[in-house]
Amino acid sequence: MAGEVARRTVTQLEDLVRDVPDFPTAGIVYKDITPLLADPVAMASAIDAMAAPWLGSAVDFVVGVEARGFILAAPVARALEAGFVPARKPGKLPSATFSESYGLEYGHDSLEIHTDSLPAGSRVVIIDDVLATGGTAAAAARLVSASGADLLGFGFLIELPLLGGRSQLAGLAAHAVMSLGTEQGGD
Amino acid sequence: MAGEVARRTVTQLEDLVRDVPDFPTAGIVYKDITPLLADPVAMASAIDAMAAPWLGSAVDFVVGVEARGFILAAPVARALEAGFVPARKPGKLPSATFSESYGLEYGHDSLEIHTDSLPAGSRVVIIDDVLATGGTAAAAARLVSASGADLLGFGFLIELPLLGGRSQLAGLAAHAVMSLGTEQGGD
């Protein structure tokens, strides 16, 4: 993970992530990033740290995963001068879509992307808030592959390494600003 | 609405909004902004046009409305050096919330905001993609009021003036980058 970001250190960013035990279901410790989002200096630092690994990579499109991923992916896209493409929950996109199902840390769901959103051969990065078990990111990756685009890798604000999600990412580059344990309480 | 934006004209932005008839239900013409989001110059122009009216207003927080509103509100928050606060669908926010119900153009729903997200007296702008009947924006405004914050006004990418949403906004400032008819087809 990154050492220091532009205007907040990673430790300061970590202090703005709130642990919420037993949300959305018993036994899950939810990582609430809303205190970080509400701090403009922290938010800018986080976005710049997420964009930094891709600045020299000629990224054409940033795919953001609904819904929290949108909050980070849209400013990352701007920082990279790339287009923004939403990967959405079922039934939300109005035109023809590719669809992929995935298992979540809690439950399961699917993701869709417009079939005409990523031209074949375009250079794509997937951005989401948290890398947990990796199921969502892997589904997003399959959507990019179905489009014929070139997936360069992934960026996350938070990685929860104890959940092993990195193993689902096909060995592609995956950057996270912070790496957090899953133990309850703490920060 | 604005005349010209930084690097794309309003007419060029309008050409990147795709009409999708009968989505999500029969009789609704859905305004699909994904072609605009995928064009980095158009996206940057739209964000700058949405931020411009508030640049001198010392905005503390930009409230983004789930889900498409997140895509615009997060970069607008950065452009204004303001914090980002999500107004979310029910059950998505992990901590204590205020909640407001509203009627939609099609169906009804409710929005929530963390009770500790907007300090009393803080200066707030609400950002969403489309001003249609105004129900969502009005609910978001009630959430800001419940927080004791000072709502300066609203910003939208698209206003559909034939649906009369502006009348729901309590006379507050409301800016839209483009104003579109609701007739089917066209662009």
Identify all chain A residues contacting B66, using CB atoms and an 8 Å cutoff: 67
Q: Give the mutation candidate from A37, A98, A144 for the B interface (greatest B CB count, under 10 A).
A: A37
Q: Which domains does chain A have, with CATH numbers?
A: 10-179 (3.40.50.2020)
Could A67 and B88 be called an inter-chain contact, meaning their C-beta atoms sit closer than 8 Å?
yes
Strands B18-21 and B29-32: antiparallel
Question: What is the per-residue pLDDT for A1?
Answer: 42
Residue B127 pLDDT greater than 50, yes or no: yes
Could A78 and B43 be called an inter-chain contact, meaning their C-beta atoms sit closer than 8 Å?
yes
Average pLDDT of chain A to the nearest whole number: 92
Could A88 and B81 be called an inter-chain contact, meaning their C-beta atoms sit closer than 8 Å?
no
Q: Give the mutation candidate from B78, B118, B157 for the A interface (greatest A CB count, under 10 A).
A: B78
Which stretch of A57-66, B19-28, B102-111, B172-181 has the lowest confidence by average pLDDT?
B102-111
Question: What is the per-residue pLDDT for B1?
Answer: 42
Residue B122 pLDDT greater than 70, yes or no: yes
Instruction: Look up A159 and say whether it is catalytic.
Output: no
Residue tagged active-site, from A66, A100, A105, A112: A105
Please identify every residue of B annotated as catalytic: 68, 105
Q: pLDDT by residue (tens digit) across B71-120?
A: 999 999 999 999 999 999 999 999 999 999 997 656 689 999 999 999 99
Provide CB contacts within 8 A for A171, sequence distance 6+. Answer: none
Q: pLDDT by residue (tens digit) across B50-67?
A: 999 999 999 999 999 999
A70 Cα to chain B: minimum distance (Å): 5
A10 Cα to chain B: minimum distance (Å): 18
Whether A127 contacts A64, CB under 8 Å = yes
Q: What is the ipTM of this complex?
A: 0.93
Question: What is the per-residue pLDDT for A186?
Answer: 33
A106-127 CB burial, b ≥16 within 10 A, e <16: eeeeebbbbeebbeeebbbbbb
Identify all chain A residues contacting B88, using CB atoms and an 8 Å cutoff: 67
Q: pLDDT by residue (tens digit) across B3-44?
A: 444 589 999 999 999 999 999 989 889 999 999 999 999 999
Model pTM score:
0.93
